[in-house]
A and B are shown apart, each in its own frame.
Chain A
Amino acid sequence: MALKIISAGPITTVQDQGRTATQSSGFSVSGVMDFDAAGVANLLVGNDLDDAVVESSLQGPTLTFTQSSHFAITGATANLKLNGQPINAYRSYFAHRGDQLVVGHYSSGRFGYLAVTGGIQVPIVMGSRSTSLKYHLGGYDGRQLQSGDVLQTIRDEVDDHQFQQATPYSYVSDAVAHIRVTAGPQYQDFPEQYRQQFVQHTFEMSQQSDRMGARLHGTPIDTSDVAEMLSEGTVFGGIQIPNDGQPIVLLADRQTTGGYPVIGVVARVDLPKLVQLSPGQQIRFQWISTAQSQDYYRQNYGSSTAIKQVHHFKKLADLDRGPANRIALLFDD
């Protein structure tokens, strides 16, 4: 037993890196929206990058630790409290059995993450622990978490945990968020004029954005010269231009195939930024080459070491609770 949900927030689910094995059978991939924040949370508590975490949007959970445990909170910004005392995001803490964590409302950013040492244990369904709310499958009984749910961890707590802190990804953006994109599979089907227009005008993040996709509003991109498509596979961050010319960025819960032309794909390195943008945020796209995008990806996400470097991971020496923690562990379970 690791933790018990007191109140879950409106949309809180268990997610990992997604269900890729069945996407060729038409099953949505799902998985964490912000792989950067989820990965950092896992690394902070000594987990593997792809361990399952708790993802919340709008508001994070309130929960009680039913077993002493290391944890870390990342992603969207909130006023975090452990037993009523303010704590920081992007660092690891030790919670004693019975401690209460309150994440609260997100003041900036959309998706927040909680990682617990050992990784969240829910059954693997079709190769993944991710929750598909649409198909009521995976995660915790195929649904969002609710009051009273008890989550276990896969592996036991370690007693030689290295407390660490990291710098957050910069979610607070300027008046206009700059998002780099690479050419999509239908890029060459769009007349040059519209490829230029796509990066010369700003778009606005609309209210209609969720785990499936983000609808943007702006000067319409004309698709009348783009040849009718045959449906093909979709990717995370693919930017479809439907007939009304208003872009839709395909996200974690996207359908596996789509029939609208994809003008561009959000560079992996900027995907975490994009998924965290609030409705009303202005966005300006910038074309970069696929090779350039892959270089950024390698530098930032090529390995756990790269992620730790980019986020300036630092060990926190001798926390005052160290001895108490060790004693607490003796009495646990």
Chain B
Amino acid sequence: MLAYQFLPAGDKAVNITFERRVSSVINQQILKLQQRLKNLNVEGITGFLPAFRTLTIFYDPVQVSLAQLKKIVNAAILDGHQLAVSPSKRVHIPVCYDSSFGPDLDTIAKQSHLSREKVIERHSQQDYLIYMLGFLPGFAYLGGLDPDLATPRLATPRLKIAPGSVGIAGEQTGMYPIESPGGWQIIGRTPLHLFQPESAHPFYYQAGDYIHFDVISRSEYNDIAAHLEDYHVQVDTLPTMEMGVSQHGA
């Protein structure tokens, strides 16, 4: 059973806060609660922002009071407990680990005492859970990196990291959807545009989905990049587990 607290974040938002740890169980609970509240269409709730151990609920205090919101959330968590978790999506991101795209592959290989090939193999065999999006548009905080691949950030961050770059920082791995400065160890690049502001669906994924990196060659990279509009991102449906929750404090 998972304990949670209501921690106001000003007069127009409240954090539903779970235990302070990175856990797929907590992540599932947060996303289940978000889904449940979305389905309820509560008047006055203006938005949600799921993170590692919090669900920030934005609301208009003129339309719904904090006390009412607490009742609704408590009930949603209790009700949600009886419900099956909706299945997760697994989004396949094609990544070219060519050395021209992955300047830090050798650093990772050296650090982990693995060959470059093994680093690529291990990095591309996991399903990474998206705990939250933040920092940049579409930047996913991924859990599940092989501990052997964990490598500290660059001592001096790069001023420019190309959009689509895939990297490692400490025990995290992730993708840069847009150009940005950054200190991540860069090991590859996807030809996909991970942020498409003009599209009806600007992002391929959301918190709670899984990311799987599919290895592609340099020529496949070029092909996809040249015909992006014809490329269909592969998305699978994954079954997920059931878990309980309880309230603690308030």
Contacts and interface: CB of A to CB of B under 8 A. Distances in A.
Contacts of A24: 47-50, 133, 206-207
Interface in B8-44: 8-13, 15, 17, 20-22
A13 interface: no
Interface centre among B9, B58, B62, B139 (most CB of A within 10 A): B9
Interface string A243-255: 0000000000001
Contacts of B56: 232-233, 235
Contact of A135 (B17, B50, B137): B137
B51 interface: yes
A255 B180 CA distance: 14
A82 B22 CA distance: 59
A25 B22 contact: no
A182 B139 contact: no
Contacts of A238: 9-10
Contacts of B13: 233, 235
A328 B12 CA distance: 45
B246 to A, nearest CB: 20
Contacts of B141: 231
Contacts of B12: 235, 268, 297
B244 interface: no
A230 B26 CA distance: 13
A107 interface: no
A183 B52 CA distance: 21
A235 B17 CA distance: 15
Given A125-B197, A266-B10, A290-B11, A233 B62 contact: no
Contacts, number: 133
A298 interface: yes
Contacts of B20: 227, 229-230
Interface in A177-231: 182-185, 188, 227, 229-231
Contacts of A182: 8, 10-11
B103 interface: no
B170 interface: no
B11 A265 contact: yes
A98 interface: no
Interface residues of B, number: 43
A135 B178 contact: yes
Given A232-B53, A233-B56, A294-B61, A25 B11 contact: no
Interface in A239-296: 255-257, 262, 265-268, 290-291, 293-294
Nearest to B199: A126
B187 interface: no
Nearest to A258: B134
B210 to A, nearest CB: 16
Given A22-B137, A25-B133, A256-B134, A232 B51 contact: yes
Interface string B129-160: 00011111111010000000000000000000
B202 interface: yes
Interface string B186-198: 0000000000011
A303 interface: yes
A302 interface: yes
Interface residues of A, number: 44
B225 interface: no
Given A235-B13, A262-B9, A290-B66, A257 B47 contact: no
B228 interface: no
A25 B202 contact: yes
B3 interface: no
Contacts of B7: 185, 188
Contact of A233 (B15, B61, B139, B203): B15
A267 B198 CA distance: 35
A119 interface: no
Contacts of B124: none
A222 to B, nearest CB: 20
A20 interface: yes
B10 A126 contact: no
Nearest to A303: B62
Nearest to A292: B11
Given A231-B132, A257-B132, A25 B51 contact: no
A291 B139 CA distance: 35
B135 A293 contact: no
A255 B54 CA distance: 16
A26 B139 contact: yes
B62 A265 contact: no
Given A24-B48, A25-B133, A135-B197, 7 more contacts: A22-B203, A25-B137, A137-B197, A182-B10, A235-B58, A257-B51, A257-B134
17 contacts: A23-B47, A24-B206, A25-B206, A26-B133, A26-B139, A27-B137, A182-B11, A185-B7, A185-B8, A233-B54, A265-B8, A265-B11, A290-B66, A293-B10, A294-B11, A298-B61, A301-B62
In the complex, the 8 A-B pairs of residues with the closest C-beta atoms, listed nearest first:
A257-B134, A265-B10, A233-B56, A233-B49, A230-B52, A294-B61, A293-B11, A26-B133
Interface of B: 7-13, 15, 17, 20-22, 46-54, 56, 58, 61-62, 65-66, 132-139, 141, 178, 197-198, 202-203, 206-207
Interface of A: 20-27, 125-126, 135, 137, 182-185, 188, 227, 229-233, 235-238, 255-257, 262, 265-268, 290-291, 293-294, 297-298, 301-303
